[in-house]
């Protein structure tokens, strides 16, 4: 974990934009992480899950592509890279068990897998998340049918509250993954309200199964942790369904 003083010495870069990459959970022997600040006239602000929304989409999609290139199951591929971390392995194993990953999926259903170790800023907390997403392709559209999410958020004080955070985060992430797009023309934003900037509707919400891991760690964070793995898991399921890689969000239409 890079501490604030080390960050200042490195130029004061914002580690939130490189979530899960600069503090990589996977055992990679040689790692260099760099970033470039892009100045633009468009004012932006934080969104839920901050930089992990984009950073983990890149990271976990790349891990899935590496596993596919090596012809290794993405679950087993991650297990090898996370062998040093028993908590990560436990979360992975649990989501695979709960989703029946090792059994054939139902007809027309395709599965994708993603993982994230969400580290709070300054090392405030560490929450382990693993997700399996099940999708169906309907006339070129992605229909997310089921999301299974295993979470180690330390000792759970209020299970209902934690599950609500996880479920809401997944719904929010699906809006980012499938719908959220802002375009510009003539110096302004083209979208004006929900008629041309839609959110995920209730009819599109998948069945969500949250698995809370038993833990003797102190309570950790749960508010934003479920968002980041959604997009790479959906993208991987789409690849399994269509053999097409999705590398930019949103991706509602698969051409």
pLDDT at 2: 46
Q: Is the pLDDT of residue 161 over 80?
A: yes
On whether residue 61 sits in a domain, the answer given is: yes
pLDDT at 41: 82
Angle at which helices 52-69 and 74-81 pack, to 10 degrees?
110
CA distances from 187 to 41, 104, 109, 192, 238 (A): 10, 50, 43, 14, 35
Angle at 26 between CA 25 and CA 31, to 5 degrees: 100
Give the highest mean pLDDT range of 141-150, 182-191, 219-228, 245-254: 141-150
Least confident of 99-103, 117-121, 226-230: 117-121
- Measured in whole angstroms, the distance separating CA 4 from the mean position of its chain's CA atoms is 25
On whether residue 180 sits in a domain, the answer given is: yes
More confident position, 195 or 42 = 195
pLDDT at 48: 80
Is 2 within 8 Å of 121 (Cβ atoms)? no
On whether residue 167 sits in a domain, the answer given is: yes
In whole numbers, what is the pLDDT of the chain averaged over residues? 90
- Measured in whole angstroms, the distance separating CA 185 from the mean position of its chain's CA atoms is 31
Q: Is the pLDDT of residue 9 over 60?
A: no
Find all residues with CB under 8 Å of 13, minimum gap 6, and list them: 7, 35, 37
pLDDT digit string, tens, across residues 207-235: 999 999 999 999 998 988 999 999 999 99
Reported as half-sphere exposure (CB side, CA atoms, 13 A), residue 169 has a value of 28
pLDDT at 77: 98
| Mean pLDDT computed over 116-134 | 90
More confident position, 95 or 249 = 95
pLDDT at 1: 43
On whether residue 39 sits in a domain, the answer given is: no
| Mean pLDDT computed over 160-164 | 95
pLDDT at 253: 64
Owning domain of residue 22: 4-27+46-242
On whether residue 212 sits in a domain, the answer given is: yes
Q: Is the pLDDT of residue 10 over 80?
A: no
Q: Which helix (H) or strand (E) holds 87?
A: helix 86-99
In the chain, how many H helices and how many E strands?
A: 6, 6
On whether residue 32 sits in a domain, the answer given is: no
On whether residue 11 sits in a domain, the answer given is: yes
Q: Is the pLDDT of residue 4 over 60?
A: no
| pTM confidence score | 0.91
pLDDT at 158: 95
pLDDT digit string, tens, across residues 102-111: 999 999 999 9
pLDDT at 6: 53
Least confident of 34-38, 65-69, 115-119, 189-193: 34-38
How many independent structural domains does the chain possess? 1
Q: Is the pLDDT of residue 49 over 90?
A: no
CATH number at 145 reads 3.30.365.10
Q: Is the pLDDT of residue 38 over 50?
A: yes
On whether residue 253 sits in a domain, the answer given is: no
């Amino acid at each position: 974990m890079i501490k604030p003083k080390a960050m200042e010495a490195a130029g004061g870069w914002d580690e939130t934009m490189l979530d899960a990459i600069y503090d990589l959970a996977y055992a990679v022997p040689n790692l260099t992480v760099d970033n470039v600040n892009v100045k633009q006239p468009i004012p932006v602000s934080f969104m839920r899950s901050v930089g992990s929304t984009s950073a983990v989409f890149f990271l976990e999609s790349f891990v899935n592509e590496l596993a596919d290139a090596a012809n290794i199951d993405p679950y087993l591929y991650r297990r090898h890279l996370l062998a040093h971390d028993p908590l990560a392995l436990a979360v992975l194993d649990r989501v695979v068990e709960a989703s029946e990953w090792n059994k054939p999926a139902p007809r027309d259903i395709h599965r994708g897998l993603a993982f994230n170790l969400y580290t709070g800023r300054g090392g405030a907390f560490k929450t382990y998340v693993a997700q399996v997403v099940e999708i169906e392709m309907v006339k070129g559209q992605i229909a997310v049918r089921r999301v299974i999410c295993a979470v180690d958020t330390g000792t759970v004080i209020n299970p209902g509250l934690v599950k609500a955070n996880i479920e809401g985060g997944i719904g929010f992430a699906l809006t980012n993954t499938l719908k959220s797009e802002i375009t510009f023309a003539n110096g302004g934003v083209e979208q004006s309200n929900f008629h041309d900037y839609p959110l995920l509707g209730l009819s599109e919400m998948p069945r969500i199964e949250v698995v809370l891991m038993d833990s003797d760690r102190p309570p950790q964070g749960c508010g934003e942790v479920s968002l980041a793995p959604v997009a790479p898991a959906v993208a991987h399921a789409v690849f399994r369904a269509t053999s097409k890689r999705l590398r930019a969000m949103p991706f509602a239409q698969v051409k």
